[in-house]
Amino acid sequence: DARTKEFVRRIENLKQEMRAIILAHYYTVPEVQDVADIVGDSLALARAAESTEADVIVFAGVYFMGETASILNPDKLVLMPDDHAGCPLADSCPTEEFRAFKRQYPDALVISYINSTAEIKAESDIICTSSNAERIVRQVSEDKRIIFGPDRNLGGYVMRKLNRKMILWQGYCYVHEAFNWEVVKSAVEAHPGAELIAHPECREDLLQHADFIGSTSGLLEYAGRSSSETFIVATEPGILHEMRKRSPQKTFIPAPKDASQPWSTCTQMKQNTLEKLLRCMESRQPQIVVEESLRQAALKSIRRMLEMS
Ligand code: 13P
Ligand code: SF4
């Protein structure tokens, strides 16, 4: 509509004026994805934030994403449309409790999912994302114990894949936890020939039945190259926008959620509206800044991930 068009026009102008780059995650609303310079999974967005030559990074995602961009780029202005858009998975791992957890296994190496706070990253040896978790764990010698957090589903997935035990923090993402096989099975049965594709943040019972498991970018690529015509997609449905854009002839069906679960969309990601995106560029607020000693500590584990993947 006219209002959207006007927002987009002003955002495009500001982008030039400010020498800004807009990064957006696949779970944001379609109109935000469409105005972004780069839409990607967590790893691609962290890499883009690391390598950009823009003066300003505008991050449409959840807080840990803007925070990671700021950790990688202390000299750039990092803005978010809404700095209250947190990730409940990241927030399910309080620093003091995690420290106490670590103290139980003093010899263990700590690998944390990028969906974590800067404080947890500072407590970690290596960061990973859903697209490189397996590759990173594979590089750790067999005799080393590993603490993995905060997502127990991604951790469990890597454990089964590599046939290797890890000590898991019991966090989960409410969006992905809402899918289970009992309910998703009916959708698979209703669409003969459809493939079930799932994010590794999903529960084990669902992953066991998936035809393909991958990060958001991994799911997108798979949906593009597979010869199937129909896909049941078990992740946040924001990804369907790009799937349909890339493969308009194929059918993408969001996996149904369990009736007992309140959400299978990420309400925090959806807080990034086009209007807030424009306002944050106009006002250069809210800025994401990480205190320097914390930033240095968190940067080490992020750098290690970037070197290892
Ligand atoms: P990826 O895009 O890296 O797969 O991450 C999914 C997610 O839940 C982001 O919060
Ligand atoms: Fe966090 Fe889940 Fe939302 Fe991703 S989808 S930002 S993991 S709550």
Is 53 labelled a binding residue?
Answer: no
Find out whether the beta carbon of 177 lies less than 6 Å from any atom of ligand 2: no
Q: Domain 2-85+269-289 carries which CATH code?
A: 3.40.50.10800
Is 199 labelled a binding residue?
Answer: yes
What is 237-304 written as a DSSP string? GGGHHHHHHH-TTSEEEEPPPPTTSS-SS-TTGGG--HHHHHHHHHHT-SB----HHHHHHHHHHHHH
Pairing, β 109-113 against β 38-40: unpaired
d(CA 223, CA 231): 8
Give the Å distance between the CA of 259 and the centre of ligand 2. Answer: 19
Is 111 labelled a binding residue?
Answer: no
Choose among 254, 97, 267, 240: nearest CA to 173: 267
Atom of ligand 2 nearest to the CA of 62: 6
ipTM above 0.90, yes or no: yes
Give the Å distance between the CA of 130 and the centre of ligand 1. Answer: 7
Give the Å distance between the CA of 175 and the centre of ligand 2. Answer: 7
Identical topology for domains 2-85+269-289 and 179-254: yes
Classify domain 89-172+298-308 by CATH architecture.
Answer: 3-Layer(aba) Sandwich (3.40)
Best mutation site among 25, 26, 27, 215 for ligand 2 pocket (most ligand atoms within 8 Å of CB) = 27
* CB-based contact 47:231 (threshold 8 Å): no
Choose among 2, 69, 80, 44: nearest CA to 281: 80
Nearest CA to ligand 2 atom 1: 87
Length of the chain: 309
| Proximal ligand: closest to the CA of 87 | 2
Domain 179-254: which CATH number of 3.40.50.150, 3.40.50.2300, 3.40.50.10800, 3.40.50.450: 3.40.50.10800
Residue 256: both structure tokens together: 């149904």
- The pTM is what? 0.97
Q: Distance of alpha carbon 126 from its chain centroid, rounded?
A: 17
pLDDT of residue 187: 95
**CA-to-CA dists, residue 253 to 26, 34, 196, angstroms:** 16, 21, 10
Give the Å distance between the CA of 27 and the centre of ligand 2. Answer: 9
Find out whether the beta carbon of 151 lies less than 6 Å from any atom of ligand 2: no
Per-residue pLDDT tens, the chain, 309 aa: give them.
999 999 999 999 999 999 999 999 999 999 999 999 999 999 999 999 999 999 999 999 999 999 999 999 999 999 999 999 999 999 999 999 999 999 999 999 999 999 999 999 999 999 999 999 999 999 999 999 999 999 999 999 999 999 999 999 999 999 999 999 999 999 999 999 999 999 999 999 999 999 999 999 999 999 999 999 999 999 999 999 999 999 999 999 999 999 888 889 999 999 999 999 999 999 999 999 999 999 999 999 999 999 998
Q: What ranges do the domains of the chain cover? A: 2-85+269-289, 89-172+298-308, 179-254
Radius of gyration (C-alpha) of the chain in whole angstroms: 19
